[in-house]
Amino acid sequence: MMQTERSRGFSRVAWASALGSFALVLGPTALAAQEAAEAEGGNPLFTVNFALTIWTIVVFALLLVILKKFAWGQILDSAKAREDRIQNALDEAAKLQAEAAVLLEQHRAQLADARRQAQEIVNEGKTAGERVRKDIEEKARTEGQALIERARKEIEREKDSALDEIRKESVDLAMAVATRLIKEKLDPEKDRKLVVGYLEEIGRRDNSAAGGKRA
Amino acid sequence: MSSLAGVPSLVAAQEAAEHAAEGGAVNLGELIMHHLADSHEIELPFFLGVLHLPTGWNVNLGPLGVVDFAPTKHVVFMLLAAVLCLLVFIPLAGKARRLEPGKAPAGVGGGMEAMILYFRDEIVRKNISHGADAYVPYILTLFFFILFMNLLGLVPWGSSATGNVSVTMALALCTLALVELSGMQALGVKGYLHTIFFVPEGMPALGAAPITLLLAPVEFVGKLTKPFALTIRLFANMMAGHVLIFALGGLVVTMGAIGAGTVAGGIGATALATFVMVLEVVVAFLQAGIFALLTSVFVGLIRHAH
């Protein structure tokens, strides 16, 4: 910064005086060259013309000052402004792209998370369903088992009562037959006891036989 | 292109023919010299005659003697080049200023802008690293001023001021002034003096002194050879091209004068002149660019001399 400040102050004074002083230094040399060439009758193409040199320096200096003030400044400034604008736009675009990339990454992560959660929910549902199914099956099986058991007990009971019935019937039947056969010879009460005792013995044998078969 | 290119050679041919008709021998060398040298007369376009410029703007410069500052042909064409620069770049600047910030630039001005930015980025900034932008206006003015002067020599009835050694020397002296002043500004007075009086480091004073004294003239002459080379390069390039074009145009007349003229020879010479003319357009750009490039190289060199 200090450099440019100094250079500006330096150049303002220096440029004008420098061009002038160089022209003055040039003057005698140019004139001498011109006179020498003319004296020798040299080629006018290679002769330095002092006036023309001064004309050139003046025209060039004026052109430089005018163009610097009215042309180069604006043209270069507008080019600079445009470059800055384009650079800013590019920087902005790069920033936005980076942001978009971050957002995309976030979205991807969210999406993956959501997918994973959905999968979990489905899995949970599946296991819960499985459990429920197993429970129901188990229940049905035990209930069925209980039903079968009850039916079996019923059958057993029915069978026992049927057997008792048959026993009673057969006692009566046997009594009737025996009464008819040996009515006169025997005391009915004594005979009855005998027959009943005999039948009970048979019944016990039957019962033990039936129990062994069922097991 | 060919019709434009043909015209200066035709002018030369016509004058040679006039000379021949007047009974004088055709002196082609004299004719070419007449066209290249500065004068107080300007040939007006379309054979409107000759414009006589004023003379005798004598100024007494005391010890330097009396100098005639009357504008010559080359001064007129130099002024024309300067006016052309103003006519091209001031409207361009106006356009650049009026351009709305959000809008893309368009139009022919973009071509000029491309050249301007090329010089800023590739010539000035590459050669003068820091503080380069301060030199951009000088280099741009130098390039376009020289370019327009070069190109004016290729226009029919035109004349290029850069084909005159006084003009190129003046421009080279401006470059010399710029280079040396930049050196003083960047290095300080002591640093600048070191660019003339080179003091080798790490040597005892007794050994360093002769080297410094011995090298001082070499360094000083080195400073002057740069602008000298610039002067001769631009002047010689521009003059040589014109000599060649005029010589090829004059070839037609010369061949006719010695009785060796054929239609094929005339067409061949004209075609060759056309080709040289195209080459000259390239040279006009090239030499203007080289002058500007070397100026920035010299500035860069002295600013970074340590």
Domain ranges of chain A: 2-99, 182-215
B69 pLDDT above the threshold of 90: no
Determine which of A73-77, A164-168, B209-213 has the lowest per-residue pLDDT on average. B209-213
Q: What is the DSSP string of A104-141?
A: HHHHHHHHHHHHHHHHHHHHHHHHHHHHHHHHHHHHHH
**Contacting B residues, span 258-277, partner chain A, CB-CB under 8 Å:** none
Q: Read off the pLDDT band of B202 (50, 70, 90).
A: confident
B225: number of Cβ within 10 Å: 10
Q: Read off the pLDDT band of A147 (50, 70, 90).
A: very high
If you average pLDDT over residues B90-111, what whole number do you get?
77
Determine which of A13-17, A123-127, B49-53 has the lowest per-residue pLDDT on average. A13-17
Determine which of A126-130, A199-203, B223-227 has the lowest per-residue pLDDT on average. A199-203
Q: What is the DSSP string of chain B?
A: -HHHHHHHHHHHHHHHHHHHHTT----HHHHHHHHHS--SEEEPGGG--EEEPP---EEE-GGG-EEE----HHHHHHHHHHHHHHHHHHHHHHHHHHS-TTS---STHHHHHHHHHHIIIIIIHHHS-TTGGGGHHHHHHHHHHHHHHHHHTTSTT---GGGSHHHHHHHHHHHHHHHHHHHHHHHHHHHHHHTTS---TTS-HHHHHHHHHHHHHHHHHHHHHHHHHHHHHHHHHHHHHHHHHHHHHHHHHHHHHTT---HHHHHHHHHHHHHHHHHHHHHHHHHHHHHHHHHHHHHHHHHT--
d(CA A56, CA B170): 6
A158 pLDDT above the threshold of 90: yes
> Which chain B residue's Cα is nearest to A81?
B101
Spell out which residues of chain B touch residue A58, defining contact as CB-CB under 8 Å. none
A81 pLDDT above the threshold of 90: no
Q: List strand residue ranges (DSSP E) for chain A, in order.
A: none
Q: Read off the pLDDT band of B11 (50, 70, 90).
A: low
Determine which of B18-32, B82-96, B206-220 has the lowest per-residue pLDDT on average. B18-32
- Chain B: give the shortest CA distance to residue A23, in Å: 8
Share of chain B above pLDDT 90, in %: 23
Cα dist from A78 to B96, B103, B114, B165, whole Å: 6, 12, 13, 37
Per the CB < 8 Å rule, is A78 touching B99?
A: yes
Per the CB < 8 Å rule, is B116 touching A75?
A: yes
A212 pLDDT above the threshold of 60: no
Q: First-to-last CA distance in chain A?
A: 116
Which of B36, B75, B99 has its CB closest to that of A55?
A: B75
**Contacting B residues, span 49-88, partner chain A, CB-CB under 8 Å:** 61, 63-65, 67-72, 74-75, 78-79, 82, 85-86
Which of B33, B82, B93 has its CB closest to that of A70?
A: B93
Q: Read off the pLDDT band of A6 (50, 70, 90).
A: very low
Cα dist from B175 to A68, A69, B46, B283, B287, whole Å: 17, 20, 38, 21, 15
**Contacting A residues, span 114-173, partner chain B, CB-CB under 8 Å:** none
Q: Read off the pLDDT band of A2 (50, 70, 90).
A: very low
Q: Is B243 on the interface with A (CB under 8 A)?
A: no
Reported as a single tens digit per residue, the pLDDT across B138-188 is 999 999 999 999 999 888 888 888 988 889 999 999 999 888 888 888 888
Cross-strand partners of B58: B68
Q: What is the mean pLDDT of chain B?
A: 81
Closest CA to B182 of B123, B152, B138: B138
**Percent of chain A that is helix, strand, coil (3-state, to 5):** 95, 0, 5
Among B34, B79, B174, B239, most A C-beta atoms within 10 A, so best to mutate, is B174
Query: Would you state the pLDDT for residue B23?
Result: 45
B19 touches B26 (CB < 8 A): yes
d(CA A147, CA A140): 10
Residues 6+ apart with CB under 8 A from B173: A22, A23, A26, A53, A57, B227
Q: Read off the pLDDT band of A11 (50, 70, 90).
A: low
- Chain B: give the shortest CA distance to residue A93, in Å: 16
- Chain A: give the shortest CA distance to residue B188, in Å: 11
Query: Would you state the pLDDT for residue B268?
Result: 83
Cross-strand partners of B43: B50
Query: Would you state the pLDDT for residue A153?
Result: 95
Query: Would you state the pLDDT for residue B230?
Result: 92
A19 pLDDT above the threshold of 80: no
Query: Would you state the pLDDT for residue A183?
Result: 65
Q: What is the mean pLDDT of chain A?
A: 81
pLDDT, greater one: A1 or A39: A39
Q: Read off the pLDDT band of A211 (50, 70, 90).
A: low
Look at the block and give the residue holding tokens 């290729």: B154
B184 touches A7 (CB < 8 A): no
Query: What are phi and psi for residue B50, nearest 5 degrees?
Result: -120, 135
d(CA B249, CA B13): 6
d(CA B135, CA B149): 21
B105 touches A82 (CB < 8 A): yes
Query: Would you state the pLDDT for residue A83?
Result: 87
Which residue type is seen at A34? Q
Cross-strand partners of B68: B58
B122 pLDDT above the threshold of 60: yes
Residues 6+ apart with CB under 8 A from B34: none
B51 touches B44 (CB < 8 A): yes
Reported as a single tens digit per residue, the pLDDT across B262-304 is 777 788 888 888 888 899 999 999 999 999 999 999 999 888 8
d(CA B210, CA B106): 62
B249 touches B7 (CB < 8 A): no
- Chain A: give the shortest CA distance to residue B81, in Å: 10
If you average pLDDT over residues B109-136, what whole number do you get?
86
pLDDT, greater one: A47 or A80: A80
Q: Is B242 on the interface with A (CB under 8 A)?
A: no
Query: Would you state the pLDDT for residue B145?
Result: 95
Per the CB < 8 Å rule, is A76 touching B120?
A: yes
Determine which of A132-141, B23-32, B293-302 has the lowest per-residue pLDDT on average. B23-32
d(CA B298, CA A20): 21
Among A10, A56, A62, most B C-beta atoms within 10 A, so best to mutate, is A56
Query: Would you state the pLDDT for residue A9?
Result: 46
pLDDT, greater one: A133 or A200: A133
- Chain A: give the shortest CA distance to residue B207, in Å: 35
Is A144 strand, coil or helix?
Answer: helix
Among A55, A69, A77, A84, most B C-beta atoms within 10 A, so best to mutate, is A55
